[in-house]
């Protein structure tokens, strides 16, 4: 049950060529301002899955879109010069090195992108008095809390990716007070390189899949995350947020729901443990996030099962 002033994100609130399917109970004044005001917004990491969703979601604003190779946020001088030229009202950092196994194999690169990059952004935003939205991850936590992690819980990463993201959060907090740190988890977006498409491909090719039961998180529709950031970005409620679709599940349960929506319930989904996989990095086993702070100012994301079903309809994945 959501409060009277809660915006329940049930799809994208973002303008597009297609009719919107976004509904809500009531918009607080700050959310109305976020939707109506035209801003100059600088998006770093514009080619990634979140950057692409934000570009679509914020297209009524004046957008400057940058990604590699045009701009490397680890190059402080180039970044500062670009911000001098653009003079944005807001900067969104959707860029990161998210290959968790790659981070384990090259922790120096992980820190350079996920730690030094945000440091440069925070310094540049402080110099120009620009609010900063910085996107982080559930992997800043150790994964031992069955009830899920709250925004104020102690950071204790268990792998190089998580450590690099903690470094980025620390740099942003330490260097610039006008920040929104937005943690998310298990993000999926249109395209063929995500957990959903991997499950469907293996199910159709092999007729059986094996999925871990001991990794828990929040499957999150990228369109819902972008819509939540849109509502947050002009509130002035600086701080740390957990924006994930509500509810949590194991990877095995997530796969089961994918198979159900794709009418592939005849496919065997074997339960296995993470220890049966040989990989460079180990994710936090109990990595679910709780949205307390966002809900307190009226921003709540819909249940993950509903968001996933909507994604299937939009992508026509059940055929």
Which residue(s) pair with 8 in the sheet? 300
Q: First vs last Cα of the chain: how many Å apart?
A: 34
Q: Which of 161, 180, 241, 311 is catalytic?
A: 161
What is the C-alpha separation between 151 and 239, in angstroms, rounded? Answer: 9
3-state secondary structure of 76: helix
Q: d(Cα 281, Cα 299) in Å, to the nearest integer? A: 33
> Where are the strands (E) in the chain, listed by range?
7-9, 40-44, 62-66, 90-93, 132-137, 179-184, 187-188, 208-212, 216-217, 220-221, 239-242, 249-250, 268-272, 299-301
> Cβ distance 39 to 61 under 8 Å?
yes
Residue 306 and residue 259 in contact, taking contact as beta carbons nearer than 8 Å: no
CA separation for the pair 165, 163 (Å, rounded): 5
161 tagged catalytic: yes
Q: How far apart are CA 51 and CA 100, in angstroms?
A: 19
**Rounded distance, CA 148 to CA 131, Å?**
29
Question: Would you please indicate which residues are annotated as catalytic (active-site) residues?
Answer: 161
């Amino acid at each position: 049950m959501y409060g009277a002033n809660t915006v329940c994100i049930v799809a994208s609130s973002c303008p597009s060529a297609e009719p919107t399917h976004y509904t809500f109970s009531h918009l607080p004044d700050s959310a109305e301002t976020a939707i109506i005001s035209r801003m100059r917004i600088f998006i770093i990491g514009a080619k990634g899955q979140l950057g692409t969703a934000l570009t679509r979601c914020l297209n009524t604003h004046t957008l400057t879109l940058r990604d590699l190779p045009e701009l490397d946020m680890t190059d402080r001088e180039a970044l500062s010069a670009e911000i001098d030229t653009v003079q944005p009202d807001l900067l969104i950092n959707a860029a990161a090195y998210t290959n968790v196994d790659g981070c384990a194999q090259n922790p120096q690169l992980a820190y350079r992108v996920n730690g030094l990059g945000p440091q440069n952004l925070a310094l540049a935003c402080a110099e120009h008095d620009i609010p900063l939205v910085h996107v982080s991850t559930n992997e800043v936590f150790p994964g031992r809390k069955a009830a899920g992690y709250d925004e104020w819980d102690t950071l204790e990463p268990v792998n190089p990716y998580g450590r690099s993201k903690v470094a980025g959060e620390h740099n942003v907090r330490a260097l610039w007070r006008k920040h929104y740190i937005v943690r998310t988890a298990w993000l999926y977006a249109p395209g063929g390189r995500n957990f959903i498409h991997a499950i469907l491909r293996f199910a159709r090719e092999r007729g059986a899949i094996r999925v871990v039961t001991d990794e828990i998180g929040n499957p999150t529709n990228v369109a819902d995350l972008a819509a939540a950031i849109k509502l947050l970005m002009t509130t002035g409620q600086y701080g740390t947020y957990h924006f994930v679709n509500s509810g949590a599940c194991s990877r095995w349960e997530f796969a089961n729901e994918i198979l159900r929506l794709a009418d592939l319930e005849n496919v065997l989904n074997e339960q296995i443990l993470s220890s049966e996989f040989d990989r460079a990095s180990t994710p936090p086993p109990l990595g679910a996030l709780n949205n307390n702070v966002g809900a307190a100012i009226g921003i709540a994301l819909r249940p993950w099962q509903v968001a996933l079903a909507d994604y299937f309809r939009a992508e026509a994945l059940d055929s």
